[in-house]
Structure 1
């Protein structure tokens, strides 16, 4: 598998995850905890953490950490599940960046809206250093940072137009979103909306239910997003008959 494909596959797992294992440490003693990640447009994991949590106190003292995300096993053996371990440095998201990134986090975890503004919660970001992708049993690949991150110019192009893309699709293509969410992604029938988009895919939501559409590959501009949505809608409609 080419290095660019490995990076995309690792990001695909990270962006689709609704839960992950965070590894921290205090005075040399490892500690693991359940967290609920999202990703920034550039793929950096985002975590909404309480200052009351053990892992948050540990990250303030030692920002080096790791995040494990696991996909669905191919068979009964759990070792056949694709998974990625990302290593990096955790940091609180600066105040000027927090609103936009918090909106992306809530797009993945809408159920958390009622407590996301509690005073003890703050948004954190893990600055990636590298990753280990295990694509299945005995298929491990180390991924350097340059291969893990998407192209910066593509990230900027999609981020600059994300609001327009989301607004247009929700206003004019509700039928396509329904076909994608139900026919392709296995979601229930209902009023689906696009809530976020990035170079690797888009998140669709109906209430607290969220489905991630991974693109066939990273896109470079809004035209690429449109092509992926057209492809996905056609496939979704075909599956629905």
Structure 2
């Protein structure tokens, strides 16, 4: 289910928040805007500086960045963690300005959380080659506000509680996350293939589950990554199992 379908009825704040998180969580890259640090050449201190970054997400939907201290944007964040991220889902629209996109403002901070680093690497496997370099570190962005254009004339401002899920919605999922992912990949490759091909209209391939969160799960094959939103928000392993079974039944019936 993509932004623009069932969840984009957009009548209630929860619907808007889900659509925004789905757009974010479906992204593999974003435009990062930082504030140019003091001492910047050309007197550009304080000016916005945009750059392209790879992104992953915490279970609560907070963006994760694995970035090098050699990059200007990292040096800017070290001086001032305030930043913006633009998530662009307009590909495929003849008029890109009618497509969905989301910009968020937040504060980026370094984190040494090993679980979050593994979430990033699972989404971007090639990053494992440099994740341990001394100049690289993982940063987590605490979102403070969002602005979403869901389509022509459908514009929404979002408060933090719509962009980030509270701990009660994900903390019971944390200790079982890796077990769920491993179980699905080892024992239910057929279900993963059905999710991708029948529910998401993706090509056939060696689809693997790379992450799960209360709103949905991420699948990948080769260099292709796609997002499967859940019908019902999950909070623990039992709810995850029920939702994954419900979705595979839907996929089989669709065939």
- Normalising by structure 2, what TM-score? 0.85
- Tell me the residue number matched to 1:6: 16
Q: How many residues align?
A: 237
**For structure 1, which segment, 150-159 or 181-190, has the greater mean C-alpha deviation from structure 2 after superposition?**
181-190
Partner of 2:40: none
Q: Aligned Cα RMSD in Å?
A: 1.9
- The verdict on how the C-alpha distance between 1:238 and 1:72 changes in structure 2, with shifts beyond 3 A counting, is farther
Q: Give the CA deviation at 1:74.
A: 7.1
Residue 63 of structure 1 is matched in structure 2 by: 81
Instruction: Give the equivalent residue in structure 1 for 2:46.
Output: 28
Distance of 1:67 and 1:216 partners within structure 2:
27
Structure 1's unaligned 5+ residue stretches are none
Alignment of 1:88-107 (within 5 A): 88-93=106-111, 95=112, 97=113, 99-107=114-122
Q: Name the stretch that deviates more: 25-34 or 205-214.
A: 205-214
Say whether 1:201 aligns with 2:211. no
Matching residue of 1:139 = 154
Q: Residue 75 and residue 187 in structure 1: after superposition, are their counterparts in 2 closer, same or farther (change >3 A)?
A: closer
- Between the aligned partners of 1:113 and 1:168, the Cα distance in structure 2 is 22
Would the aligned equivalents of 2:232 and 2:243 in 1 still touch at CA under 8 Å? Answer: no
TM-score, normalization: structure 1?
Answer: 0.90
Could you tell me which runs of 5 or more consecutive residues in structure 2 were left unpaired when the two chains were aligned: 1-10, 37-44
Q: 1:87 aligns with which of 76, 94, 105?
A: 105
Runs of 4+ in structure 1 off by over 6 angstroms are: none
Which residue number in structure 2 is paired with residue 219 of structure 1?
234
- The alpha carbon displacement at 1:219 in A equals 1.9
CA distance in 1 between counterparts of 2:14 and 2:174 reads 21
Whole-Å Cα distance in 2 between the matches of residues 54 and 109 of structure 1? 21
* Contact 2:194/2:251 (<8 A) preserved: yes
Q: 1:163 to 1:150 in 2, by over 3 A?
A: same
